[in-house]
Every structure is written in C-alpha cells, then in structure tokens.
Structure 1
Amino acid sequence: MKASRRKPGTTWHPDEVFVTLRGEPYLLWRAVDQHGAELDILLQKHRDKAAAKRFFERVLAACSEAPRKIVTDQLRSYRAAKAEIPALACVKHVFVKASARVNNRAENSHQPTRERERRMRGFRDPERTQAFLSSFGPIRQHFALKRHLLRASLYRKQLATRIADWHRFTEITQVPPVF
C-alpha cells in the first residue's frame, strides 16, 4: 500500500500532541505534507531535541528526499534537531505562532486520531498504539476522498476503485500458508 502512495510534497508540517496512555502522558509526533498526506508518526515520552531528531530521522527514512520547507510551531527542539541532521541543514524553516494555531495542516491531522482515541476509549499500550496509528493513517487516507469537490457519480466510481484496490492489497496478505 505504501508503494501505491504518491510522492510526498516539498513542504512538511511536523507537529506534536499529547496522548494519555494508562494515565501517563506521551507525545504523538506527526508530519504531514502540504497536501495533508501523513508522512509518518512516532509515539515518544519526551519533547526534547533527541526526540525531535529521532522523529526527523524517521520521517527522512520514510520519504525518499528532504523537503524544501519545514513549517513548525515555535518549539525549540525542532530547530536544534534540524541543525544536527545534515540532510535538513539547508532546508528553509518557517516558524508560525503556536498560540494562533496557524499550522493548520498539522493541527487538523490530529483530529482523526482524537476521534479514534474516543471510539477506542483511550489507547493503552505504547507499542500497540504506535503500530495501530502507523497503519490507521494510510488506510484512512486511502479511503478519504474530497467528497465536496466531486459529483455523486464520480465519487461512487472513485470509491469503488479504492475498494477494489483495497481488496487487491488485502488479498496478498490473506493468502493462507501452504505446508
């Protein structure tokens, strides 16, 4: 399924949000591109330079090339981590005012996670949460069509195509082993 995704955009919007797992606060780091496509997520305990660096390295590994621009809130960890990674050293870094919620691409990308968290009555295990959210984002994006921009007939046609693709993807993983 990852192979069928389009190439990531040239502008990245990383952001972090607190998630509570069994009463303990964790940070869910998420990066989206300018189209709103989720690049990667990472669940960590800390909000320091090492955590930001680990997240940037993970996103760089998931994407084939570095962005031209990174848009972040004013968390100092981003700047410090970016300076230590050679691939991101020459990337333009735009800071937005954190209180104004101007980084809407990243802020809005947390909404499906919050909704899923409510439906599941909270996340419990960090490893399972990381695995679930890493899978949930691409699957949700696969079926998310911009319905307000499509005629009903075109929407139905595109949805049928996406469902057929999904059956193709899952058919590969559901082949029973032959002994």
Structure 2
Amino acid sequence: MSAPMISYKNHRYPPQIIAHAVWLHFRFPLSLRMVEEMLSERGIFVSYETIWRWGRKFGQAYVKQLRRKKPSRKDIWHLDEVVISIGGQKHGLWRAVDQDGYVLDEIVQTRRDTKDTKRLLIRLLKRQGLKPKGVGTDKL
C-alpha cells in the first residue's frame, strides 16, 4: 500500500518550506510563533496563522508517512558511544540507531563498562523481538 500523495497546488510557498514548518511545529515543542520566528531568521516570512493552517491541512498526511515501520530481519543497527558532560562529569552515552536514523535505545553510564553495554544490546533485542541483519559499531 503506497502513501497518498500530498498536493501543494495553489500554495504560495514551495513544498519544502511547508513541510519544514509543519515538521518543526509537530516534531519539537515549539509554538507557532516560535516557528514563525525561526523561519523569518532564514528569510522566509510567513505568519503563524498560515503555519497553523498548514498543520491542519498537511499534518495527518505527514504523520502517516512518518509512522515507525515494523522492525524486520533486514535492518542494520548502529551502536555508537559519545562522551558527554553532565554537571561537569564525563559520561558515556551509548545509542542504538537503525539504518533509517530512528533511535532504538540509549543508555548513559559514568564509565565505560562492557557489562552495561551488553545489557543495552540484550534489552534492545528483547524490545525489538528479532535479530537484525547486522550490527555496526565504532570498534570501541
């Protein structure tokens, strides 16, 4: 079943701008006026009322297109560690991301501990219900 095509006919702005404005409003906890201000900083002058109308008109279609697909055995997961600073202390943030960029799971730990990292992978396998085709790491 294919996704329905969204028609931007008779709109003043290009589809990319409309899609970006609606995405900003629904993806992040931003008010319509904040989205209006962010677009105006980029030289796109549109009122918050217009963004509201775009959200009413295109919001459901975007949601249907962006719904998370079911996991499959053809997925490839990427595990990555990033060192972040929380309250002046260094912590390791492990994230598991699939090939489409969806964050599957994450864990924050104060030190590099292989036991906790294995626990993340086991928890991820249980949550997803099946094994992926491959798992890539940054060789840490």
Q: Which has the higher helix share?
A: 1
User: Which protein shows a greater Rg?
Assistant: 2
Q: So what's the TM-score if we normalise by structure 1?
A: 0.37
Q: So what's the TM-score if we normalise by structure 2?
A: 0.47
